[in-house]
Amino acid sequence: GGRPTISSEDGMYAMSIGLAFHEDIGGFMGMSPRRGETRGDFSSLTENARRLRIPISFRYKDWIANITPDFGNGSADGSTTLYEANVNYAGFHNTILTAGYFQPRVTEEDSESSNEFEMMERPAITDIVRNIAAGDARMSIGGLHYDKRWWIAGYLTGQSYGARNGTGVTDSQTGATFRVAGRPYMSKDIDVHVGLSAISAFKVAEKSNGRSYAFAEGPEVNLTTTKFLNQTVGNVGSIWSAGPELGFRWKRLVLKGEYYHIGVTRGDNTGGNVGNQQSVNFSGYYGAANYTLFGKGRSYNIKEGAFAAPGVDHVFDPLHGYWGALELSARYSVADLNSGLNTAGAVRGGQQTVWSAGLNWYPNRHFRFMLDFNHIIVSRNSQLYDLVGRDGNSVAGRIQAAF
Amino acid sequence: GGRPTISSEDGMYAMSIGLAFHEDIGGFMGMSPRRGETRGDFSSLTENARRLRIPISFRYKDWIANITPDFGNGSADGSTTLYEANVNYAGFHNTILTAGYFQPRVTEEDSESSNEFEMMERPAITDIVRNIAAGDARMSIGGLHYDKRWWIAGYLTGQSYGARNGTGVTDSQTGATFRVAGRPYMSKDIDVHVGLSAISAFKVAEKSNGRSYAFAEGPEVNLTTTKFLNQTVGNVGSIWSAGPELGFRWKRLVLKGEYYHIGVTRGDNTGGNVGNQQSVNFSGYYGAANYTLFGKGRSYNIKEGAFAAPGVDHVFDPLHGYWGALELSARYSVADLNSGLNTAGAVRGGQQTVWSAGLNWYPNRHFRFMLDFNHIIVSRNSQLYDLVGRDGNSVAGRIQAAF
Amino acid sequence: GGRPTISSEDGMYAMSIGLAFHEDIGGFMGMSPRRGETRGDFSSLTENARRLRIPISFRYKDWIANITPDFGNGSADGSTTLYEANVNYAGFHNTILTAGYFQPRVTEEDSESSNEFEMMERPAITDIVRNIAAGDARMSIGGLHYDKRWWIAGYLTGQSYGARNGTGVTDSQTGATFRVAGRPYMSKDIDVHVGLSAISAFKVAEKSNGRSYAFAEGPEVNLTTTKFLNQTVGNVGSIWSAGPELGFRWKRLVLKGEYYHIGVTRGDNTGGNVGNQQSVNFSGYYGAANYTLFGKGRSYNIKEGAFAAPGVDHVFDPLHGYWGALELSARYSVADLNSGLNTAGAVRGGQQTVWSAGLNWYPNRHFRFMLDFNHIIVSRNSQLYDLVGRDGNSVAGRIQAAF
């Protein structure tokens, strides 16, 4: 796959070093605050090292240890973290058993490699769902199995890397993830993908003020630290989410859609105010279309149970008429963090809708340039920067290298 | 040794990349605070990336530069630091001269590689002693020499990596370490180890409130940020510690014990209160027993002047009846930070006793799984979480990979 | 060049890992504060990991991705950052096009590799100028071209890595750099270097209190966090700087000098106080002399348009009378952050003069030991540690390894 690797002559040992390099440049237009609102962090032109991961892998026979430092960041670069650090046993056929900090995959979007995304960012609902008990560098113990027609995985999960560091946590989270996906129909021109993902935090982390959970998500472009969706739910018993995945490929066209419901049961803090006693229900969905204009179209990756990026037949070489690969994407995405609005236990997290369109150019198999336009519509959510809702647009590009 | 290495054909150059991967999962039981005490950070189930080190080494002829980033942490992961970054000259026989950030070894326990520890953590007294002027990423200039029967090392030491960063230090620490060890008797079945370690901070770091030093140590399981032993000594002139090392191997059985005394002389701040004028004396000791149930028993490592982990004769392969190696450990450890309790200069740092037992399984030479049980007994030390003492237990496991 | 590299057999792929290891040990003498001043951070003996960079490079045909973590620091080690992370196209002759976090070079001093500096640190004015819109890990898009006799480069630049992280920036900086240099005369014994560097921040970062810029610089030895030069200019419209570079080599002697003027235009905050309305003008210059006592003298590096370190003819081997290379340097440097002192818009940033002398020893081409003496003279700048000016000295050594 082009990742630099050194091996021992007897094949017992292998070590590889890779790279996932995503740097974003762009800005926001028309994000003006309304009367009484705070401006928020919306540069007209700024930059972010979105992912700067150096995956390092050590193999001895069927045992593998992975560690991946990450010098990039979700919204404002400058800190160093870990993408993963885990130990794996790959001695069973098409099966990987894993223990350690890992990204256990839930939802179709989260199952794709970020190097192969259709748009620069996942739909908001996908990020909100996966962050409940999965996401990057989540302590996990479990396994996955794949075959030509189906894919299944389950993990028990704990804290995310760093969750106890300076946060005042006195009891850590425990949870689990589950995903099953299949291809009921496949042919040269057609792939039908169906799947089901589920996730739960049985017990969220406890701090001095009890067990609460913050749902928060940016506007599907990670050049701002302001999150329009930002809702802390107090007195949490457990959180769960589940929903279906659907995908369809016809030649160079890929259509995808997912829907997720999120439920929060309340804890036993019955002495609290009535607003903290009622179950909370959030939801979200997205639909996406992608078409490969030239190059080899998107294909189905059985190891991920998800669609993979276009291929480059001929490396960029304009003198000989080779232009690599180019694809076009469009997406409609909704995430709704309002619950029981007309009841005493109303949770007013707001609703965010994002229309997006994007263009991805692959000069060769290791480099990619992305350009995304987002139109962002947020309804009121009682945050200072969003008292009465906010509309606006973003244009952002990404420079990507992957080895 | 299985570390991936690339070399130039003429042998003048070599570069290697390794891994020390230790991830801990576990929790505490029965750590309930007594009346008026704070709970402390004692999860029933939590995780910590204890060590995630990537040792990178560059050699040109007899000169070696080492740098080892560490994504793990003493008690709560999430930050990135440095384990070492030093330059070495290895041109003299069995001798390594070192300058830079380094772990200068004192005590038998500290001289063992953390990949080969009997228990998950060092005894508390060992950590307290080594932190005075040694420990990880301590600026050091000095050297070590070893032979078949003896080992000697001495270093002048300065600050630890990061000690001036945001801490308000206006004058840095200077100190030194010394260790000599030998094997007066050795045979196929028996190794007798004796040694002497000494360490001193001639001058501790100065801040705006003068020169003070904080002695602090956790309960020999690093899944909590709460340290029962936590005593700052003010108006410090210098700190020293010294003590004997004893070890004995008979076939697959290894017995070890060490005792250390710590003395603090006071500075010239004679105008301060009487509690800051009197010399301070702390001490601690431990005794440990280890037995290798199957696999090759522990052996003596002359390069470290210390005992090394069991060997695996046959890689884990249950179909053929091979189970790797398994060892059993037990330890009794006391660290006493009380000094002059019945005097005007009483220092009430408390006393911590830990009974521990552990099991280590090695499926092959690069991977290890540990399971430790600790019973922790702490006498009162006037900290909020320990006004009248605290007893409790921990169970913790470690996933380890080492290349 | 001695950097460990692995390549594919067809030459299409290459990956390399290098090292830039600079650790400093030293202290200050005679830095006593005058009446009413604060002491500042001036240890008599302390240490700093100045640069601990691990450059990792991935090449696929003419496309290169670089990423370089840095575990060192400008003044107090302990944090991890990024030196660079960029994507390059090298398909045109003697030309490198770059996008991403990069060090776009301005001034002759900044164009030299830090592994090859004459003194441990750049002159203060060079650092002040480059930090306006260049410096380490600056988001850049542009290119450089070099030939035997000339060198030219220009970049559009944005924020530095981490500039939006926890700083309250709501609109990021945009700027640009330009440098052209040439060798009008060259022979075996003589190189004449002339150049022109220019830099501008068209728009500095905006925070809640508007657009301001902090000029700050240490005393040309990075073992203190105290910066005598430390002046924030408010209500900034744009900042520019430009100046000439001159260099001359005669056999083993290299003479260099540069002068830079810095201008700050004010923004449209006309309602502010009069002190924030007037243009600000700073300046600085330095002159340096360097002589190689033994070993191969400094040479001209056409890829950098700057002078390079001495070469080692024979590796250090005292038994055979080989001592590597040794050079002697001296420098006089002035940075003046006072502007319009007798006007209503006076900016009192102070003036710092540093006389320095240094010795560099190269036992072989990969290792270097430096020893620098600085005499520091600072005129009053209204900072608490510098109300009436301060004189003092520093002695510092550096341990260096470069692969």
**What pLDDT does residue A121 have?**
98
> For C112-142, what is each residue's pLDDT tens digit?
999 999 999 999 999 999 999 999 999 999 9
Say if the Cβ atoms of A46 and C171 lie within 8 Å: yes
CA distance B166 to A203: 36
Least confident span in B97-101, B130-134, B330-334, C166-170: C166-170
**What pLDDT does residue C259 have?**
98
E strand or H helix that includes residue B109: helix B108-111
CA distance C46 to C25: 6
Tokens coding A174: 């425990």
Structural contact between residues B195 and B248, judged by C-beta atoms closer than 8 angstroms: no
Identify the burial level of C128 via C-beta atoms within 10 angstroms of its C-beta, where 0-12 means exposed, 13-18 middle and 19 or more buried: buried
| Residue recorded with tokens 């945001």 | B166
The single-letter code of the amino acid at B185 is Y
**What pLDDT does residue B35 have?**
85
Say if the Cβ atoms of A60 and B366 lie within 8 Å: yes
| Residue recorded with tokens 């140590």 | B217
**What pLDDT does residue C34 have?**
85
Number of H helices, E strands in chain B: 2, 25
| Residue B85 with chain C: CB contacts under 8 Å | 21, 23, 49, 52, 71
| Residue C174 with chain A: CB contacts under 8 Å | 45
Least confident span in B212-221, B273-282, C320-329: B273-282
CA distance C25 to C325: 21
CA distance C150 to C305: 7
Least confident span in A245-259, A385-399, B96-110: A385-399
Q: Which of C65, C165, C169 sits opposite A19 (nearest CB)?
A: C65
Least confident span in B90-99, C181-190, C315-324: C315-324
**Count of structural domains within chain B:** 1
E strand or H helix that includes residue A64: strand A63-70
Res. A124: pLDDT tops 90 = yes
CA distances from A192 to A111, A246, A288, A310 (A): 16, 8, 15, 17
What are the phi and psi torsion angles at C375 (to 5°)? -110, 120
Per-residue pLDDT band at B37 (split at 50, 70, 90): confident
Mean pLDDT across B72-82: 94
Res. C101: pLDDT tops 80 = yes
Interface test with C, best of B87, B156, B174 (most C CBs within 10 A): B87
**What pLDDT does residue A345 have?**
87
Res. C354: pLDDT tops 90 = yes
DSSP-assigned letters across all residues of C156-168? EEEEETTTTSSS-
Structural contact between residues A44 and B48, judged by C-beta atoms closer than 8 angstroms: no
Say if the Cβ atoms of C170 and A43 lie within 8 Å: yes
- The percent of residues in chain C predicted with pLDDT above 70, rounded, is 99
Give residue B340's domain range: 5-402
Interface test with B, best of C7, C45, C48, C71 (most B CBs within 10 A): C71
Least confident span in A180-184, A272-276, B36-40, C375-379: A272-276
**What pLDDT does residue A271 have?**
63
CA distance A216 to A227: 6
| Residue B13 with chain C: CB contacts under 8 Å | 2, 4
**What pLDDT does residue A272 have?**
64
Tokens coding C311: 């070469």
Q: What is the DSSP letter of C318?
A: G
**What pLDDT does residue B18 have?**
98
- The percent of residues in chain A predicted with pLDDT above 70, rounded, is 99
CA distance C260 to C334: 11
**What pLDDT does residue B330 have?**
98
CA distances from B8 to A238, B61, B335, C56 (A): 57, 11, 50, 18
Tokens coding B397: 């496991």
On average, the pLDDT of chain C sits at 95
Query: Beta strand B138-146 with C367-378: parallel, antiparallel or unpaired?
Result: unpaired
Per-residue pLDDT band at B373 (split at 50, 70, 90): very high
Tokens coding C250: 């005669």
> What residues of chain B have any CB closer than 8 angstroms to a CB in chain C?
6, 13, 15, 17, 56, 58, 60-61, 63, 65, 67, 69, 80-82, 85, 87, 99-101, 139, 158-159, 161-166, 169-172, 174
Res. C271: pLDDT tops 70 = no
Res. A75: pLDDT tops 80 = yes
CA distance A145 to A151: 6
Res. C272: pLDDT tops 70 = no
> For A298-345, what is each residue's pLDDT tens digit?
999 999 999 999 999 999 998 999 999 999 999 999 999 999 998 988
CA distances from B333 to B26, B36, B259, B271, B289 (A): 21, 28, 10, 38, 12
**What pLDDT does residue C268 have?**
81
DSSP-assigned letters across all residues of B310-341? PB-SS--BGGGTB--EEEEEEEEEEEEEEE-T
> For A196-234, what is each residue's pLDDT tens digit?
999 999 999 999 889 999 999 999 999 999 999 999 999
Residue C245 vs residue B276, higher pLDDT: C245
CA distances from A28 to A47, A107, A377, A394, B322 (A): 12, 29, 13, 4, 62
On average, the pLDDT of chain A sits at 95
**What pLDDT does residue B334 have?**
98
**What pLDDT does residue A175 have?**
98
Say if the Cβ atoms of C399 and B99 lie within 8 Å: yes
Say if the Cβ atoms of A364 and C63 lie within 8 Å: yes
Closest alpha carbon within chain C to B55: C54
Closest alpha carbon within chain A to C98: A399
Res. A382: pLDDT tops 80 = no
Least confident span in A308-312, B94-98, B173-177, C72-76: C72-76
DSSP-assigned letters across all residues of C185-197? EE-SSEEEEEEEE
Res. B269: pLDDT tops 80 = no
Res. B271: pLDDT tops 70 = no
Mean pLDDT across C395-399: 98
**What pLDDT does residue A380 have?**
80
Say if the Cβ atoms of B81 and C78 lie within 8 Å: yes
Res. C36: pLDDT tops 90 = no
Question: How close A387 comes to chain B (CA, Å)?
Answer: 34
> For A137-186, what is each residue's pLDDT tens digit?
999 999 999 999 999 999 999 999 999 999 999 999 999 999 999 999 99
Per-residue pLDDT band at C182 (split at 50, 70, 90): very high
Per-residue pLDDT band at C387 (split at 50, 70, 90): confident
CA distance C265 to C278: 8
CATH of residue A47: 2.40.160.10
What are the phi and psi torsion angles at A295 (to 5°)? 95, -175
CA distances from C301 to B386, C292, C400 (A): 65, 17, 21
**What pLDDT does residue C209 have?**
86
CA distances from B355 to B227, B373, B374, B375 (A): 17, 8, 6, 5
**What pLDDT does residue B205 have?**
96
CB-facing half-sphere around the CA of B401: CA atoms within 13 A: 26
**What pLDDT does residue C270 have?**
66
Interface test with A, best of B32, B71, B316 (most A CBs within 10 A): B71
Question: How close A265 comes to chain B (CA, Å)?
Answer: 21
- Find chains touching chain A: ≥3 CB pairs under 8 Å: B, C
CA neighbor of A295 nearest in space, from A284, A308, A282, A281: A308
**What pLDDT does residue C207 have?**
92
**What pLDDT does residue A270 have?**
66
> What residues of chain A have any CB closer than 8 angstroms to a CB in chain B?
6, 13, 15, 17, 56, 58, 60-61, 63, 65, 67, 69, 80-82, 85, 87, 99-101, 139, 158-159, 161-166, 169-172, 174
Q: Could you tell me how far CA B156 lies from the centroid of its own chain?
A: 19
Closest alpha carbon within chain B to C48: B161
- Find chains touching chain B: ≥3 CB pairs under 8 Å: A, C
**What pLDDT does residue A77 have?**
96
Mean pLDDT across B265-276: 77
**ipTM of model:** 0.96
Interface test with B, best of A3, A164, A169 (most B CBs within 10 A): A164
Which residues have CB under 8 Å from C366's CB, separation 6+? B58, B60, B63, B65, C2, C401, C402, C403
Residue C318 vs residue B188, higher pLDDT: B188
> What residues of chain C have any CB closer than 8 angstroms to a CB in chain B?
2, 4, 6, 17, 19, 21, 23, 25, 39-49, 52, 54, 69, 71, 73, 76-80, 225, 315, 363-367, 399, 401, 403
CA neighbor of B176 nearest in space, from B199, B192, B195: B199
**What pLDDT does residue C38 have?**
87
Per-residue pLDDT band at C381 (split at 50, 70, 90): confident
Mean pLDDT across A54-64: 97
Say if the Cβ atoms of C77 and B165 lie within 8 Å: yes
| Residue B15 with chain C: CB contacts under 8 Å | 4, 17, 403
